Amino acid sequence: MTSSRVLVLNSGSSSVKYQLLDMSDSSRLAAGLVERIGEETSRLRHTPLHTGGESREWTGPIADHDAALKAVSAELAKDCLGLDSPELAAIGHRVVHGGKHFTQPTVIDDTVLAEIERLIPVAPLHNPANLTGIRTARALRPDLPQVAVFDTAFHTTMPESAARYAIDVETADRHRVRRYGFHGTSHAYVSRATAGLLGKDPSEVNVIVLHLGNGASASAVRGGRCVDTSMGLTPLEGLVMGTRSGDLDPAVIFHLARVGGMSTDEIDTLLNKKSGLIGLCGDNDMREIRRRVDEGDEQAQLAFDIYIHRLKKYIGAYYAVLGTVDAVAFTAGVGENAAAVRQAAIAGLEELGLAVDDELNAVRGDRPRLISPGTARVAVAVVPTDEELEIATQTYALVGKNVKSN
Ligand SMILES: Nc1ncnc2c1ncn2[C@@H]1O[C@H](COP(=O)(O)OP(=O)(O)O)[C@@H](O)[C@H]1O
Ligand SMILES: CC(=O)OP(=O)(O)O
Ligand SMILES: [Mg+2]
C-alpha cells in the first residue's frame, strides 16, 4: 500500500479549513470548512472532490476545535476517506507563530508543542486554535507524523534592519520583541507562482505580494527571499484588515488607557476585533462594502479609502525597499476577487511603471493572470494563493520519503 495522502488543517480562531490531498499527483480529494465554532449555529461544509459529489452542509452547535475536528473526521469517513485510512501519510498543520526558532516545516513532538504553546502571548488569536487542532489530530492518529508549517518561516530571511523595532535592544531581546511576519506560506507560494507567470526563476525576480484576506499583509520578496513584510511581533501591524487596525501611533494605546480608562485587554480587543473595516463602517466583508459604496454610502466610502491609502503606502515603501520591481501580485479573498481594490491601489502609480488594464482586471478566474497593459514596465498580477497545497507539499517533502514504500 502506498501512502501518499496528506490531510491539511488550517485552524483559525473560530474556524477550521481542511483539505485532503493525494500527493502522488497533488490532486484534491476533499475540502471543507467549519465556521462559527463555539456558537449555536456552527456550520460545516464538506465537498468530496474525488467523486465530483455535491457539497454537504450541516448547521448546529460545535463547541470547540476538538469537536470540530471530530466532525470533519466523520464527514471524511462517509466518503471512505477517514482518518483511519492506511493511505494517509501525514497531517500538515498551519501554525501561525513559530517565533525565530522554526525556519522550516517541522515534525511535531512534545518539545515542538511546548514551543508553540510558549508563543501564545504573541499570537493569542491563532496559536491556541492551532494547538487544539494538533492535539486532537494526534489523539485520532498517534502513529502518523504530524507536521507544523509556520506562517513565520518564510520571513526569517528578513535582515535585522527590517526585523528590529527601534527600541532598546536589551529590552527587545529579553522579551523577544521583533518583527516576525505572517501569512508566509502564502507569500512564498504566490511569489514563486508570480515568477512562473513571468516565465522566470524566483531567483531572478523582485515581487511585492499583497495578501488581502480577512487578515492582510504585504511583503517585499527579492530573488525568492523575503526582505520585508508588514505584520510584526503579532498579526496586528501593517495594512488595514477586516477587524484589525494595522499601523497606528503606539501612543494611541497609552492615550486610550490613561484618558479613555480602558484596560489592556479592552484595547487589545478593540484593535484586533473591533477595528479595521468593521470598526470604520460596521462591515468587514469587502463585497458588502463595495455594495454600499455603489449605493453612495459615505461611511463605507471612507473605510474603503482608508484601506486603499494604507495599501498604496506599502506598495510605495516596498518599491523603495526593493529598488527595482518586476511584479506586484494580488492574492487571497479580497486580492483575488475585488477588482475595485486592485484598480484603486494601483491608480496614480504610472510613474513607477505600474498600471492596470480595466478589461483584464475585470476578468474572473482561478488561474494566475496579468492585469497590467502589455506596455507596462512592471507586471501587475492576480495570483490565487493555495496555502493548503503548499502546506501539503512541504509536509510530504518532509515525511514522504519515509512512507512512500510502506
Ligand atoms: N467576490 C468578492 N469580492 C470582494 N471581496 C471578496 C469576494 N470574495 C471574498 N472576498 C473577501 O475575502 C475575505 C476573506 O478572504 P480569505 O482570504 O478567505 O480570508 P481568511 O483566510 O483570512 O479567512 C472576505 O472577508 C471578503 O471581504
Ligand atoms: C496571521 C493571520 O492574520 O492569519 P489570518 O489571515 O488567517 O487571520
Ligand atoms: Mg487566510
Tens-place pLDDT, residues 156-210: 999 999 999 999 999 999 999 999 999 999 999 999 999 999 999 999 999 999 9
For residue 333 and ligand 1, the question of a CB distance below 6 A is answered with yes
User: Which residue is catalytic, options 151, 228, 283, 386?
Assistant: 151
Residue having the nearest C-alpha atom to atom 3 of ligand 2: 215
For residue 12 and ligand 2, the question of a CB distance below 6 A is answered with yes
Q: Average pLDDT of 23-45?
A: 92
**Average pLDDT over the chain, rounded to an integer:** 94
**pTM given for the model:** 0.95
Minimum mean pLDDT range among 20-34, 51-65, 238-252, 279-293? 51-65
Minimum mean pLDDT range among 72-86, 265-279, 319-333? 72-86
Is the pLDDT at 11 greater than 90? The verdict is: no
Is the pLDDT at 23 greater than 70? The verdict is: yes
What is the rounded distance in angstroms from the CA atom of residue 120 to the CA atom of residue 130? 10
C-alpha cell at 131: 494547538
Show the domains of the chain with their CATH numbers: 5-150 (3.30.420.40), 200-387 (3.30.420.40)
What is the rounded distance in angstroms from the CA atom of residue 165 to the CA atom of residue 256? 22
Tens-place pLDDT, residues 101-136: 899 999 999 999 999 999 998 888 889 999 999 999
387 is in an annotated binding site: yes
pLDDT of residue 403: 53
Instruction: Work out which ligand 2 atom sits closest to the CA atom of 244.
Output: 3
Partners of 34 in beta bridges: 16, 44
Minimum mean pLDDT range among 21-25, 82-86, 88-92, 313-317? 82-86
* Per-position DSSP letters for 296-350, written without gaps between them: T-HHHHHHHHHHHHHHHHHHHHHHHHHSS-SEEEEEHHHHHH-HHHHHHHHTT-G
Is the pLDDT at 2 greater than 80? The verdict is: no
What is the distance of C-alpha 362 from the center of its chain? Answer: 24
pLDDT of residue 400: 74
Is the pLDDT at 150 greater than 60? The verdict is: yes
C-alpha cell at 385: 494563493
For residue 337 and ligand 1, the question of a CB distance below 6 A is answered with yes
- Of 133, 179, 104, nearest to 16 by C-alpha is 133
- What ipTM goes with this model? 0.98
Q: Measured at the alpha carbon of residue 342, what is the angle toward residues 380 and 339, in degrees to the nearest 5?
A: 115
Instruction: Work out which ligand 2 atom sits closest to the CA atom of 214.
Output: 6
| Residue 53 DSSP one-character state | P
Tens-place pLDDT, residues 200-223: 999 999 999 999 998 999 999 999
What is the rounded distance in angstroms from the CA atom of residue 89 to the CA atom of residue 40? 34
